[in-house]
Amino acid sequence: MRTSARLHTELTAIIDRAYDATDRADGPMIRALLGDLAGTGLDQRTAAFLSQAHQLALDTTAALTSVLDTHRFGSCCSECGTSDPCRTIRGISEIFIPSSDASHSRA
Ligand SMILES: [Zn+2]
């Protein structure tokens, strides 16, 4: 079972890796490749999503980093004051670490 601090550290590492991978991706190349998809039968909604996906991934991971920074863990959550993983950290961990069992972790 993970401690609350360890869970927070693992989540931060996951989000940092996702941000770094997205940031290293070649945005202009992605847009160029998407231009090559014209006429392939790709529906407009999917094409619109793909055209925004790189920036959305950057923005989403940056926002999650901000949330994790706000709910950083020392002896308790710096925002919520709980010694167990707070509701925010539990919610994020359920997505990124489904087996974390964060609701039963102890500090
Ligand atoms: Zn919190």
Angle of helix 4-24 relative to helix 87-96, nearest 10 degrees, comes to 50
Report the DSSP beta bridge partners of residue 1: none
CA of 77 to the centre of ligand 1 (A): 5
Given a cut of 90, whether residue 36 has pLDDT beyond it is no
- Contact between 16 and 65 under an 8 Å Cβ cutoff? The reply is yes
Is residue 46 predicted with pLDDT exceeding 70? yes
16 CA to middle of ligand 1, Å? 19
Model pTM? 0.82
Cβ contact 103:90 at 8 Å: yes
- 71 C-beta neighbours (distance < 10 Å), count: 20
13-24 pLDDT, tens per residue? 999 999 999 999
Percentage of the chain lying above the pLDDT 90 cut? 60
For residue 37, the Cα-to-chain-centroid distance in whole angstroms is 28
Q: What is the pLDDT averaged over residues 71-75? A: 92
Q: Residue 33's domain spans which residues?
A: 4-104
Question: DSSP H helical segments within the chain, as ranges?
Answer: 4-24, 27-36, 44-70, 87-96
Report the C-alpha gap between 100 and 107 in whole angstroms. 14
Q: Taking 50 as the threshold, does the pLDDT of residue 107 lie above it?
A: no
Mean pLDDT computed over every residue of the chain: 88
- Supply the pLDDT for residue 1: 62
pLDDT tops 70 at residue 101: no
**How many structural domains comprise the chain?**
1
Q: How far is the CA of 7 from the centre of ligand 1 (A)?
A: 12
Determine the pLDDT at residue 106: 40
